Amino acid sequence: MRLTVVGGGSTYTPELVDGIAGRRASLDVDEIVLVDPDTHRLRIVGSFCQRLLDHAGHPAKVLTTTSLEQGAEGASAVLLQLRVGGQKARRSDETFPHACGCIGQETTGAGGLAKALRTVPVVLDIARTVRRVAGEDTWIVNFTNPVGIVTRALLEEGHKAVGLCNVAIGLQRKFAAWFGVDTNAVRLDHIGLNHLTWERGVQVSTPDGPVERIGDLLGEFGRRVADEISAPLDWMRRMNAIPSYYLKYYYAHDDVLADQLESPPRADVVIEVENELLSQYADPDVVTKPESLAKRGGAYYSEAAVQLVHALTAGGPAEEHVVNVRNNGAMPFLPDDAVIEVPATVDGKGAAPLPVKPVEPRFSGLISHVTAYEFLALEAARKGGRDRVADALLAHPLVGQYAIADRLADDLVAANRADLPWAAV
């Protein structure tokens, strides 16, 4: 099996390869092809990934190329993990909204829209090339943010795509460790959109059947949960749910903004971490994953990706995974073509959302609001135009005022003109 990674020069890539090396039995990979326009990174990351595999005794070979056509040929699955504009663009996303008193973040709000505008056209071009070179049956696993918008763009064009995020698997792993049980014994009632999710239930399998443990997490383990999520424990107990870390941008907007104004952008931190990692990767004596890779983020990404690719390509029975998938009635208050993040059955035919219990208004209102924004954001990304950008911003709950939306639209276009062809005219 050939697995192609677009954005293979990323410092994330060794995390993925390390996961493959440790799961030889579940994913029979012969070749891992890293595709990236940055030849310097590609050389360093590619060589290190091969050392990881060799050290683990895995027979797969790592190939590197700047040509998507060469990299995608013969691929059973293509993973997308690219960042258009690099960390420089991320830094802009995290800072330009501050002038308007808005959150600066790379996946939501004005910064998230900027990333979507840069990313969607590039991803669609990549997907068209993959379909032409590798065939229509090749699966695309999208890890590129904003995952929900990018995945919906792929599905709208008819590509075989599934979106992936590491939030759910990260929480599952932490809860299992706290309970002292096997990871597979923990099942989440995970609902929402990418980076806008809640755990309404956490079931643990026992010999006598599944036992609901959300009460224990908000009771005995409450302080751990509050510290992990950065959310008030009393509020979570009142909601009887655990929000994702990203909901602090909505529920604690002013506090988070104040912190952002006093702290360096996350992009600056990541640049330092990446330089450290690339230096370690370049050392020929380093043959295992550095501990500092944990500072890069993306915990359990490799595990989630390997399991998902196995489910899509192995030809076995359906498996359950939390993925980004077309709604298709799972949440009746959303359009069928909305992309939601929920547990789904996954096999060679794709992903289908499992039934979702009725969603309480305290969650469904925000989900509906952000879904409307995502529809407008994708329209702006596909068609361009400053006014479409302003309309999408006005629809976002983190913006929501026309004077601010107009100013942010102008600032966004100015900051990203080089990566938005329609903005150059």
Active site residues: 246
Contact between residue 256 and residue 103 where contact means Cβ atoms under 8 Å apart? yes
**Which of 153, 117, 94 has the alpha carbon at shortest distance from 388?**
117
Q: Mark residue 336 as left, alpha or beta (left: phi above 0; alpha: psi -120 to 50; beta: remaining).
A: alpha
Distance CA 20, CA 125 (A): 27
Using CA atoms in the order 118, 161, 23, 213, what is the torsion angle rounded to 10 degrees? Answer: 90
**Which of 302, 293, 301, 300 has the alpha carbon at shortest distance from 273?**
293
Token pair listed for 43? 């050389």
| Chain centre distance of CA 41 | 22
Cis-peptide, bond into residue 335, ω within 30° of zero: no
Token pair listed for 109? 């709000």
Token pair listed for 82? 């690219």
Token pair listed for 108? 């939501």
Contact between residue 340 and residue 359 where contact means Cβ atoms under 8 Å apart? no
Contact between residue 413 and residue 386 where contact means Cβ atoms under 8 Å apart? yes
Distance CA 149, CA 371 (A): 9
CA separation, residue 357 to residues 324, 349, 352, 353, 378 (Å): 17, 24, 15, 12, 28
Distance CA 82, CA 248 (A): 25
